[in-house]
Structure 1
Amino acid sequence: MYGSTDRSMPQRFLILILECIFLLIAFWFLFMEGNQFFHLPKGDVTRNIVLFAFSIITFFRMNYMVFFLLRRGITWGEALNVPFAFALYFIGFSILGGIVDKPIDSIDSFAIFIFLAGSGINSLSEILRDVWKQDKRNKGKLYTGGLFKYAVHINYFGDLVWVSGFALLTRNGWSIIIPIALFCLFVFYNIPVHDRYMRGKYGEPFRQYERGTKKLIPFIY
């Protein structure tokens, strides 16, 4: 729904409500013996606390973007598909990590670092772009500053980093499927669709920008 200025408030509130439900399910599993309901092992308490903290941080960041930074319209399809991804993060990672009875160690410290780094990259890139766009002198212009000078889709890169940190914190090998799937989704769907829209909207300025800038991963790809 690129280009639409419809506020889509019902869709935005649907995303909020669904994410609240997913958070409650994650809390139930991590702290209210949900694992015993499914006859699964009980995980480490400290790990469970950090897992839920990750979900809370992601919840607030996501909804700040949905209600304040995302100014285009949201389709009903998006309103249902986007929360599905966060169900994987909130519930999926809670289940995968909530059954691991392993004390927090240096690997988990690294997971926390890359989760926070990825969250910062994603949010800061979006906030700086929003501030730039609010300046009427920049209306109709292509934004290539801030963190976007390092990659055309630096916000997606931030997503990939924080999701990888979330997956690593679970210390469960199955979790690697989620960041790999996210990478494939970005490379084979989101980025091509977004780039086609940007070429149509900005023409040659965007073509020059993408020719001289990495697509997703700064300095690499």
Structure 2
Amino acid sequence: MNTNDVSHSFITLGFGLATVVVVMAVCMWISVRQQKLTVVDTAWGLGFAAVAIVSVFVTQRGDGMPGTQTLLLVLVVLWGVRLALHLHARNSKLPEDPRYKAMAEADGRSFAQVALNRVFLPQGIAMFLVATPVMVGMNNVGTKPVLGWIGALVWLVGMFFETVGDLQLARFKADPQNQGKLMDQGLWKYTRHPNYFGDACVWIGIWIVAASSWFGLLTVISPIAMTIFLTKVTGAALNEKGMRETKPGYDDYVRRTSGFIPLLPKKG
């Protein structure tokens, strides 16, 4: 990657940042009108798809390899749109997420202030950070095909775990006989968070596609940040805190089941 390619990447990063701001501003406006912070869950997937689409148009005049641009566009849009549709369909049928509700009630400020400072601004920053391989990778020159294939394969593994895990959980919850029970079947038998594991794999795969240049390699902060968010910040950590309080037998499930990477369940 030469100086022109780096400058093109910075231009793409600038347009990507503007896209994140617009998406988050519009979704925050909807959130405030509906008094529902879970709108940000839908915004998360849509924001990445929007960044990928805008990046393609911005890099048309740059030196990005068309094959890499197309691959990154397809990988990100498929993942983002699927996730947004899944979360919107789930959240639209439910009241406010208890985690968001507790956040809004404990803060002591107006709903709009909580939405901006505690939800949309932090997640907008995280979105831009995680999306950097998409914006930089579209400006790569001389992309190695093997990295494209490896990245796409890792992405496919991630999409399998995320999509199938979400589908299995939705079907489990839809059965009235499972009300109050713990989901420990299917992929959930091997990891307590197949959807989060899949999410991490998706972004590792996208980073691998972008890693053909030294600038693309630097965007390794993206899958690292996503994995930390999923395991330590907004994902598994918050989810498990609530599960321990509401699901009988959850501690035993934790003992026998891997917390992230799929493994055979422990016996005894």
State the one-letter code of the partner of 1:161.
Answer: C
Name the CA distance, whole Å, in 1 between partners of 2:127 and 2:63: 23
Name the CA distance, whole Å, in 1 between partners of 2:183 and 2:95: 16
Q: Deviations over 1:6-65 (max 9, x none)?
A: xx686565665686566445333323447x6xxxx6211110111111121022111122
Q: Deviations over 1:52-86 (max 9, x none)?
A: 11121022111122212344625444455545544
74-83 vs 52-61, greater mean Cα deviation: 74-83
Structure 1 unpaired stretches of 5+: 1-7
Aligned to 1:5: none
State the one-letter code of the partner of 1:174.
Answer: L
State the one-letter code of the partner of 2:261.
Answer: I
> Of the candidates 82, 85, 106, which is equivalent to residue 146 of structure 2?
106
> Of the candidates 54, 77, 80, which is equivalent to residue 28 of structure 1?
54
54-63 vs 18-27, greater mean Cα deviation: 18-27
Name the CA distance, whole Å, in 2 between partners of 1:102 and 1:96: 14
Aligned to 1:175: 219
Name the CA distance, whole Å, in 1 between partners of 2:38 and 2:76: 19
State the one-letter code of the partner of 1:147.
Answer: L
State the one-letter code of the partner of 1:111.
Answer: G
Aligned to 2:31: none
TM-score (norm 2): 0.67
1:154 aligns to 2:194 (yes or no): yes
Q: Deviations over 1:107-145 (max 9, x none)?
A: 211111111220121011011110111011111111111
The change in CA–CA distance for 1:191 and 1:72 in structure 2 (over 3 A counts) is: farther
Name the CA distance, whole Å, in 1 between partners of 2:86 and 2:145: 32
The change in CA–CA distance for 1:188 and 1:51 in structure 2 (over 3 A counts) is: same
Aligned to 1:215: 259
Name the CA distance, whole Å, in 2 between partners of 1:129 and 1:20: 22
The change in CA–CA distance for 1:128 and 1:82 in structure 2 (over 3 A counts) is: farther
Name the CA distance, whole Å, in 2 between partners of 1:17 and 1:219: 32
The change in CA–CA distance for 1:16 and 1:216 in structure 2 (over 3 A counts) is: closer
178-187 vs 24-33, greater mean Cα deviation: 24-33
> Of the candidates 160, 184, 192, which is equivalent to residue 144 of structure 1?
184
State the identity as a percent. 19
Name the CA distance, whole Å, in 1 between partners of 2:46 and 2:260: 30
TM-score (norm 1): 0.79
CA contact (8 A) 2:40 2:119 kept: no
Structure 2 unpaired stretches of 5+: 1-33, 101-114
Aligned to 1:4: none
RMSD between aligned residues: 2.8
Aligned to 1:116: 156
> Of the candidates 73, 80, 98, which is equivalent to residue 96 of structure 2?
73
> Of the candidates 210, 220, 232, which is equivalent to residue 188 of structure 1?
232
167-176 vs 63-72, greater mean Cα deviation: 63-72
The change in CA–CA distance for 1:46 and 1:151 in structure 2 (over 3 A counts) is: same
The change in CA–CA distance for 1:173 and 1:125 in structure 2 (over 3 A counts) is: same
